[in-house]
Structure 1
Amino acid sequence: MPEPLSGIVTDALRRVRKSSGVPLAFAGVVNNSTSLRLQHFAGNHAGALAGLSVDVGHGLGGKVVSLNRPMVVEDYLRTPHITHRYNTLIEREGLRAMMAAPIIVNRTPVAVIYGALHTPDPIGGRMLDVLAAEARAVEQEIVASRARLEHGAQSEDELRDRMTAAYARLRSLVDTVDDARLAEQLAAVTDFLLAEAAADSAVVELTGREQDVLSLAALGYSNARIAEALGLTVHTVKSYMKDAMRKLDASSRLEAVVAARRAGLLP
């Protein structure tokens, strides 16, 4: 589980302890729908369960994953409703009554949170409600976090495309303006757009026209459209592209664009 989500789960476990009164709350992450690895704990524990891989269908957490719903057992060591593969470790931790709820995202269980007592006392509906509510809260936070990450990635791509488009437009203007000083200033702006690009360890030198062709190829332009934009023939564009690909050790236009960006030759 990524670090930010680990923090979300840990915070939820602390709230479970505070609101329900259980001495120990813990959680495990589902791995490939076959097992559950226990790795987040809130409260004092002996460490017997840390890192334990619980098979789906076994123990309390494994059964919760297979059923996709919360469960409660008043005495983990004696209940007939689960398998007892992990009794030795549960006994070593001194745990008896236990509740567990799945964290479900896109109809798939991704984790399980537990609350446990050291005595075989009944776990009331209020305690289970607290656990289930925290599970739902974690689900919502995971969905929101994924949406933020996806939106951020899309925004970065859009910004890069706008920078590349501006770079290509400015380079084309450099070749068309009659004012030498203005052309020099425009060239300085194109250099500035490259200033933040990550430089590759290998030194690659492209001609101005090769950079022009690659910058338009980065926007998805066809050879014909690049030729029209730059006032060249399609044959000439192909020649520039072939030379750029050779210098960048690329086997396709896309590889050439990626390599040029890595070398700091495109924004």
Structure 2
Amino acid sequence: MRSRAPLVTAAALTMVCVAACTPSHAASGPGTQRHPSVTATAASARQAAAAPSPAPSEVATPGFQASVMRLSSSWRSRLRYTWHPGCPQPLSGLALIHMTYWGFDQRAHTGELIVNAAVTRKITRVFRILYRARYPIRKMVLPDVYQGSDPRSTNADNTSAFNCRLVDGTSVWSMHAYGLAVDINPCENVYIDGGFVDPPRCKANADRSRRIPGLIHEGDLVTRAFDAIGWGWGGRWVTPKDYQHFSSNGH
């Protein structure tokens, strides 16, 4: 009988240990549930890990911004290639618009246009419409970056406005010399005169049936926006065709 006593005692101790040492979450029944805060935290972590990251298109983009500054004589040095004494529009009659535009890279950029001070609200309205519709613009810098050269500016696909110059081959001031004309995406919207296309590197865009970003077509967002402010489009000329060109008098 003595030989059994230690076995009984050991068995009893084992049963006590099992009851006492078993973790509470292994049992079932009332009072044995997991701590609610731990469970909630773990569930939240799993949900956060499973939540998809926002797509690039869902990331907020900046809204359209524009500021206007009237020019003064201090601007003469900055516009040494595009303005000079004898120009039909004095510096005091011009204004700089510093504004947001949507790029071909699907990002917001800030550009500069100089226009006649009397039309800043109209031009700002047009470019606000284009920006909100995500109409892409390649570049928007002052022509002085290209030493006032219109061929260099258009070849760079630069959207621009004021440039005190004559209509090619004439002694007549261009509407750009008054700050009353804007050229938009000159590479996509080429100038065509017979078999001549400018810029030459963009001659594929003489085919106006193409549907690529930046091309302007009759009745589209761009022409409607300029129609709304009373400006004409060079794409409506019989010959030549100037698809990039918008002006206050249509010329």
Q: TM-score, normalised by structure 2?
A: 0.22
- Say which structure is richer in helix: 1
